[in-house]
Amino acid sequence: MNPWFAKIGILLGYCVLVAIRATYRFRRRNVYVVESRMGRLEVALLALASIGFVVPLLWVVSSAFEVANYTLRLVPFMVGVFFLALGLLFFARSHAALGTNWSATLKVNEGHELVTQGIYRHIRHPMYLAFLVYSLGQAFVVPNWVAGPSCGIAMAVLVSLRISAEERLLLEYFGNDYEVYMTRTKRLIPGIW
By the criterion CB under 6 A, which residues form the site for ligand SAH? 94, 98, 101-103, 106-108, 114-115, 120, 125-128, 166, 170
Of 101, 98, 77, 105, nearest in space to 166 by CA:
105
- Residue 50 to residue 61: CA distance in whole angstroms: 17
Fill in the DSSP letter of residue 64: T
* Euclidean distance between CA atoms 20 and 89, whole angstroms: 10
**H-state helical runs in 62-124:** 74-98
**How far apart are CB 120 and ligand SAH at their closest, in Å?**
5
To the nearest whole angstrom, how small is the minimum distance from the Cβ of residue 156 to ligand SAH? Answer: 14
CB of 8 to ligand SAH, least distance (A): 28
Looking at beta carbons only, is 7 or 95 nearer to ligand SAH? 95
Query: Measured from the CB atom, is 3 or 99 closer to ligand SAH?
Result: 99
Instruction: Output the smallest distance, CB 35 to ligand SAH, in A.
Output: 9
